[in-house]
Structure 1
């Protein structure tokens, strides 16, 4: 069984990490995966177990989503789009996949329709028709273009065999942030959340404080504020580990490194990040999909500061729901200060001993099995977590 997996990251690396976990789960089932990678390479995420086909890469300039740039820093052109579309179609011809898996499209990644709609059209011409699947996180960003959401539903009905939603429906359902979900009910399958496997060896208890910022493109304010809040907390004398992310600007990283000492460790990345969270006394982070799932897997006390630049709403939505469950404390980005962060730390530490609701965190393994079943024409319903402990929190 061969899967062609289109993965496009622009700002952070959360999409990459979730895709990497999905690839690992597919590889464990003997599925041959080729990743068509559309963003700039990230050495810390090698997609072990898959073939990497690097498309002509594109990126953003900071958090400005309006203009895409090529690998040389030039705004992309129609000629660039044509060349990348052709590279993706050539890859399809070489692989002859059984399944085309697309990260987010047609529920996101709208500016890449120039290559993804031709890819779907090409898959539709094969006999038997190659199955096409969207891989979607729990929450979509609110759109200012409702016509795109409507068109996305049309594309999904015409071309997709399944929509794998990486969520536990007892916590978030797809219709909460996608208005046309009802029209796709026969294609939607909930996988559970994608994160590290539950049967891994847990990290040792260290009592450290872990401060992280995902990919790190917007790490500066959170890191600096955590440094300033530290003396106001009960954990001031612990080891504090700051992980800025691989995309943290060099000047920001060096400014943080200048404050490092034997109890203040500043690094860009740790391949054992989950193990660090397993043993920590507290986590301070943004509220991206992967980080929050890492926290749930570790059952760590946590404070999150949802990223909110560029009209981003996804992290705030997730953070509020998790806060309502008593799983973490939230500081809005607009209210971030050493004082508000220190107060949230006190709240998180005080509330960390209570019972935790059961949430399905085995989404990678479930998704791999679903794709295998789809290829065999036997895809059934997705696992659903016990809704009892989460009842009534959809409106939170």
Structure 2
């Protein structure tokens, strides 16, 4: 049974890591996964359990989503779009998948409708043999284009067999950030949150403070502020491990490394991130989907600074809810300073952890089982 999985990242690498975890889980279900990778490759995330086919890559400049650029740094053109659409459709014909798995679309990724709508239309010609499924995180970014939300429901109704929502509805229901959820209620399947597998083995208590920022494209201010706040916290004598992400600029990375002392580690990435969190004293990070789920899996004390530039609302929505539940401490970006960060670290360290709510964190395995059932014609909707 074959899965064609379209994965497109632009700013961070959270989508890539979630895609990797899903691909690993699908492989464990006996599915053959081909990843159509639409962004620039990230060496730290090779999708080892899947066959990766690199489409002509698209990326953005910094955090500006208004313009897409090709591999040469030029704005993409209609000819580029046509070539990539044709490459994706040719890959579909080559793979002959049983499942077409999309990431976010048609509830996001609208800039790629030029290839994703034709892909859905092509797969629909092969129904019922082929099933079309979309993978969606817990929270959608608030949009200034409400007509897209309505069109998304229409496209889902016309082409999708399931919408896999990687959330626990006791925490976030899809309808809270998608106004047309009732129109596709019969398609929605909650998988639980996608994060590292539970069977990781016991982690050593490293007692470190882990400072991380996902891909790191917008992490410079956070890293600098945490470095300045450190001496004013009760954990100043601990080892502080800064994981900047692969996309922090080289100048900012070198400046951070130059400010480090003997008990400060500055690296771009570590493959055992979950293990580090499992044994840490405290985590400081942004509030992206993957990192927050890593924190919940580790049951770590945590301070988060949700990314909220431009139209980004997703991280704030998640962090605010979890902060009110006592699962982490939140510092709004607008209030970020060495003083507020030191106070948040102090508060998080001294606060006694209360009873944690039960949240389903087995989203990768659950989603893979659902996809495998659909491929076998056993969807129990």
Q: Work out whether 1:146 is the aligned partner of 2:155.
A: no
**How far is the alpha carbon of 1:379 from its aligned partner?**
2.1
In 1, distance between residues paired with 2:108 and 2:297? 27
**Deviations 1:138-180 (Å, cap 9, x if unpaired)?**
0000000000110010000000000000000100000000000
**How far is the alpha carbon of 1:377 from its aligned partner?**
2.5
Residue in structure 1 matched with residue 126 of structure 2 by the alignment: 126
Q: Work out whether 1:320 is the aligned partner of 2:323.
A: no
**Deviations 1:80-137 (Å, cap 9, x if unpaired)?**
0000000000000000000000000000000100000000110111254411000000
In 2, distance between residues paired with 1:347 and 1:258? 29
Q: Work out whether 1:292 is the aligned partner of 2:292.
A: yes
Residue in structure 2 matched with residue 184 of structure 1 by the alignment: 184
Give secondary structure in 2 for the equivalent of 1:134: strand
**Deviations 1:12-68 (Å, cap 9, x if unpaired)?**
000000000000000111110000000000000000110001000010000111000
In 1, distance between residues paired with 2:30 and 2:14? 25
The verdict on how the C-alpha distance between 1:359 and 1:167 changes in structure 2, with shifts beyond 3 A counting, is: same
CA contact (8 A) 1:301 1:352 kept: no
Residue in structure 1 matched with residue 69 of structure 2 by the alignment: 69
Equivalent residue runs for 1:99-110 within 5 Å: 99-110=99-110
CA contact (8 A) 1:123 1:129 kept: no
CA contact (8 A) 1:203 1:274 kept: no
CA contact (8 A) 1:326 1:351 kept: no
Residue in structure 1 matched with residue 372 of structure 2 by the alignment: 372
Residue in structure 2 matched with residue 385 of structure 1 by the alignment: none
Residue in structure 2 matched with residue 171 of structure 1 by the alignment: 171
**How far is the alpha carbon of 1:376 from its aligned partner?**
2.3
Larger deviation, residues 342-351 vs 134-143: 342-351
**Deviations 1:351-392 (Å, cap 9, x if unpaired)?**
3421111100000000000001112232236xxxxxxxxxxx
**How far is the alpha carbon of 1:346 from its aligned partner?**
1.7
In 1, distance between residues paired with 2:71 and 2:318? 32
Residue in structure 2 matched with residue 391 of structure 1 by the alignment: none
Residue in structure 2 matched with residue 254 of structure 1 by the alignment: 254
Residue in structure 1 matched with residue 219 of structure 2 by the alignment: 219
Larger deviation, residues 351-360 vs 86-95: 351-360
Residue in structure 1 matched with residue 84 of structure 2 by the alignment: 84
The verdict on how the C-alpha distance between 1:79 and 1:168 changes in structure 2, with shifts beyond 3 A counting, is: same
In 1, distance between residues paired with 2:294 and 2:157? 33
In 1, distance between residues paired with 2:349 and 2:265? 22
Q: Which runs of 5+ in 1 are unaligned?
A: 382-396
Residue in structure 1 matched with residue 361 of structure 2 by the alignment: 361
Give secondary structure in 1 for the equivalent of 2:57: strand
**Deviations 1:248-296 (Å, cap 9, x if unpaired)?**
1110000001122320000000000000000100000000000000000
In 1, distance between residues paired with 2:45 and 2:248? 16
The verdict on how the C-alpha distance between 1:127 and 1:107 changes in structure 2, with shifts beyond 3 A counting, is: closer
Residue in structure 1 matched with residue 37 of structure 2 by the alignment: 37
The verdict on how the C-alpha distance between 1:239 and 1:96 changes in structure 2, with shifts beyond 3 A counting, is: same
Q: Which runs of 5+ in 2 are unaligned?
A: none
Give secondary structure in 1 for the equivalent of 2:58: strand
In 2, distance between residues paired with 1:102 and 1:351? 41
The verdict on how the C-alpha distance between 1:352 and 1:22 changes in structure 2, with shifts beyond 3 A counting, is: farther
In 2, distance between residues paired with 1:94 and 1:352? 56
Give the TM-score normalised by the residue count of structure 2: 0.99
**Deviations 1:308-342 (Å, cap 9, x if unpaired)?**
11210000000011111100000000100011111
Residue in structure 2 matched with residue 56 of structure 1 by the alignment: 56
Give secondary structure in 1 for the equivalent of 2:52: strand
In 2, distance between residues paired with 1:352 and 1:172? 25
Give secondary structure in 2 for the equivalent of 1:10: coil
Give secondary structure in 2 for the equivalent of 1:57: coil
- Taking only aligned residues, the RMSD between alpha carbons, in angstroms, comes to 0.9
